[in-house]
Amino acid sequence: MKVVLKVFLGILTAIGGFVDIGDLVANAVVGARFGLSLAWVVVIGVVGICLFADMSGRVAAVTGRGTFDLVRERLGPRAGLANLVASTFVTFLTLAAEVGGVALALELATSVSYLLFVPLVAFLVWFVIWRMPFEKMEQAFGLAGLALLAFAVALWQLGPDWSELLRQATHPSVPDGEGHPTYLFYAVSLFGAAMTPYEVFFFSSGAVEEGWSRKDLRTERLNVYLGFPLGGLLSLAIAACATLVLLPQGIGVDHLDQVALPVVLSLGKVGLAFLIVGFVAATFGAALETALSTGYSLSQYLGWQWGKRTAPREAARFHAVVLISVVLGAMLILTTLDPVKVTEYSLVFSAVALPLTYLPILVVANDPDYMGESVNGRVVNALASVYLVLLTVVAFAAIPLMIATKAGQ
Amino acid sequence: MRGADLLGLPVVGPGGEDLGRVLDVRLVQDGPILGAFAALRIEGLVVGRRALAARLGYDRYDAQGPWLVAAGVARLTRGTRYLPWADLQLTDGEVRSQVADLGPVPKIA
Amino acid sequence: MTGRVRDLALHLLDRQVVDTDGAAVGNVDDVELHVPEDGSPPYVIALLTGPQALGPRLGGRLGSWLVFWSHALSRHSGADPGRIGMELLTDLGAQVTVARSRVELGVHENEDRARTYFVERIPGARDARR
């Protein structure tokens, strides 16, 4: 019974933990502009993140090593460093966006400018990392993030023509008045939202933090292969809400208010209350994960002691890096750079940075010297190869598409 | 001498022709006993031009998936050769091979 | 284990070194090769760790900068990188295990500095939270 409960809790945590500021913004923006015609990207992205998380989690459980240990071992110190700089830049940008997201959610609740909340949010992010045990931290924010299910309830309350929604989702086409490049640019953003590099750094390092071994692999697979797709469904509910409410009225999304609007219209104040809890939990949880991820990546590349298992003094440089990145992330948002814009850029750069860590992990997951019996099977490898090609194409296309469409304008 | 003093050194043939660079150093665990293990003794050098591709290890193992990566790396590293330690001289800033035609890299079982 | 083939970059360099408690000591940033007098092939006599060893492998301006500053800031070790004799190894796999604690190895100057001057001054630095 205890095992069942643990598995159940893990799946719930994975659902709540799946959605962050990137998913909130990208799905609402896309829903309001393209309806469900880009839903296929979410599906492809979710399969991709399942595959990537499964491989990196398995590697972490078998070898006890996090992602950037292996990136450096496979690519050498120079290419490894270039990789570290690029990946950490993207993770840092995401951290800033998440901190801004928490502050925006608090603005939504109080009508006090989000900028005033930024220092407080940054302090709390650091404080939780400093004091709260790892598993409790992960569960608390993952479960509270389930309040975002308000989107699913709102969708049901809106009473849509389900067959029409399904038709839109299964017959992708570029809506009238939108160019192909713009459509593809948003496809890249949505893909970057579903597959963000930090999720993998955090997932694999978290596996090491929780002391996973080979015998935990089944639980890991259940969490990934059930939790993430359900999280993906939640993302689609956000897009569907925007499709039903914002698209017909021509309301574009450039703030968290508009993301919340469909829920407010169908569920009123109670819905908004749930949504704000969900926004705060999801973005705060992701802020913790990204802040830890910057520390994980740098420490693993340089071979420092890292993690929350021990007292902070035992992993001094790791905790110093986490603290500094939280402070810098808050400072970036305090420059009054729009957090929603920061989010949109972080998604594009996520898509660019993905293959950098995907390839080394794929190689190590196939190396019997590391993995013994637990190397990738044929099916996983076939799928992983398709994604290698896909990720590479997306990475090369992302920046040109961003320039050509002026970031989707 | 450090590992970094060998890795990346240019390798030239008996007539001074360019054979590539040192990509890796093959070690065999049969040197003098140090603590619990026999020391890792140099047996030869892996020589070629694609350092990053070689670093993935596909040119050293027999069969390792996935096929797509293995095939791509095999194409990039097909010029990789093996230079036994007995057949070389270390001179200032380069490795001089005493044979012009180097053999393939022996696979690791 | 005798006779086993390992390639330096593929199987040894850049791997994590952990101590008897499983705590991270550093990476294998380079190795020291002993060249025997009798002309027989060199063998690995020690693992090198820290910026003084990583710098030359990174090369270029960044590498020299790293070596220069870690030398300038160092109080004890001077121009030499942290050195772990091969006789201390107990395992050589996905990670390298040594039979000493990280304190005994004394290759941890920068971690000590970050602890003493920064992290330990924040309340709660000594509490482990599981």
Complex ipTM value: 0.92
CA angle A116, A120, A125 (to 5 degrees): 140
CATH architecture of A2-404: Up-down Bundle (1.20)
* Dihedral in degrees, nearest 10, Cα atoms A132, A134, A135, A141: 60
Closest to A98 (Cα-Cα) out of A408, A325, A358, A299: A325
Which of B21, B58, B64, B107 to mutate to test binding with chain A, by most A CBs within 10 Å of its CB? Answer: B64
Q: How confident is the model at residue C66 (pLDDT cuts 50, 70, 90)?
A: confident
CATH architecture of C8-121: Roll (2.30)
User: Is it the case that residue B35 has pLDDT exceeding 90?
Assistant: no
Residue C2: the pLDDT is 53
Say if the Cβ atoms of C125 and A311 lie within 8 Å.
Answer: yes
Can you spell out the DSSP letters for B7-33?
TT-EEE-TTS-EEEEEEEEEEEEEEEE
Say if the Cβ atoms of B35 and C10 lie within 8 Å.
Answer: no
Give CA–CA dist A278/A108, Å, rounded.
12
Closest to A194 (Cα-Cα) out of A317, A378, A19: A19
CA angle A10, A355, A380 (to 5 degrees): 55
User: Is it the case that residue B36 has pLDDT exceeding 60?
Assistant: yes
Answer whether the bond into residue B66 is a cis peptide, omega within 30°: yes
Residue C75: the pLDDT is 66
Nearest to C8 among B27, B38, B108 (CB): B27
Give CA–CA dist A138/C17, Å, rounded.
28
Q: How confident is the model at residue C1 (pLDDT cuts 50, 70, 90)?
A: very low
% of chain A residues with pLDDT over 70: 100
- Round the CA-based radius of gyration of chain B to a whole number and report it: 15
Closest to A79 (Cα-Cα) out of A386, A292, A355: A355
Nearest to B66 among A74, A76, A366 (CB): A366
The mean pLDDT of A239-243, rounded to a whole number, is: 96
Residue B86: the pLDDT is 93
* Dihedral in degrees, nearest 10, Cα atoms A250, A253, A254, A255: 120
The mean pLDDT of C28-35, rounded to a whole number, is: 96
Say if the Cβ atoms of B85 and C43 lie within 8 Å.
Answer: no
Looking at chain C, which residue has its C-alpha nearest residue A63? C94
B38: amino acid identity, one letter: A
CB of B107 less than 8 A from some CB of A? no
Per residue in A349-406, pLDDT (tens digit) is 999 999 999 999 999 999 988 998 889 999 999 999 999 999 999 999 999 999 999 8
Q: And the tokens for C82?
A: 């942290």
The mean pLDDT of A7-14, rounded to a whole number, is: 84
The mean pLDDT of A50-76, rounded to a whole number, is: 93
Question: Of A111-120, B73-82, C119-128, which range is least confident?
Answer: C119-128
- Residue reference for tokens 């070790």: C77
Domain residue ranges in chain B:
3-93
Give CA–CA dist B41/B85, Å, rounded.
10
Q: Helix, strand, or coil here: A201? A: helix
Say if the Cβ atoms of A362 and B55 lie within 8 Å.
Answer: no
Burial zone of A373 (CB within 10 Å; 0-12 exposed, 13-18 middle, 19+ buried): exposed
Per residue in A269-300, pLDDT (tens digit) is 999 999 999 999 999 999 999 999 999 999 99
User: Is it the case that residue C108 has pLDDT exceeding 80?
Assistant: no
Residue C79: the pLDDT is 63
Looking at chain C, which residue has its C-alpha nearest residue B85? C41
* Dihedral in degrees, nearest 10, Cα atoms C57, B76, A362, A71: 10
What is the pairing mode between strands B94-97 and B88-91?
Answer: antiparallel
User: pLDDT averaged over chain A?
Assistant: 93
Burial zone of A409 (CB within 10 Å; 0-12 exposed, 13-18 middle, 19+ buried): exposed
Residue A292's CB: how many other CB atoms inside 10 A?
29
Closest to A36 (Cα-Cα) out of A262, A267, A247: A247
Domain residue ranges in chain A:
2-404
Looking at chain C, which residue has its C-alpha nearest residue A310? C128
Give CA–CA dist A39/A243, Å, rounded.
11
Residue C107 makes CB contacts below 8 A (sequence gap 6+) with C25, C26, C49, C50, C82, C83, C84
Residue A4: the pLDDT is 82
Q: H-helix or E-strand containing C96?
A: strand C95-98
Residue C77: the pLDDT is 54
CB of A385 less than 8 A from some CB of B? yes
CA angle A255, A109, A92 (to 5 degrees): 55
CB of B69 less than 8 A from some CB of A? yes
Burial zone of A5 (CB within 10 Å; 0-12 exposed, 13-18 middle, 19+ buried): exposed
User: Is it the case that residue C76 has pLDDT exceeding 70?
Assistant: no
Give CA–CA dist A57/A111, Å, rounded.
41
Contact list, C100 vs chain B (CB under 8 Å): none
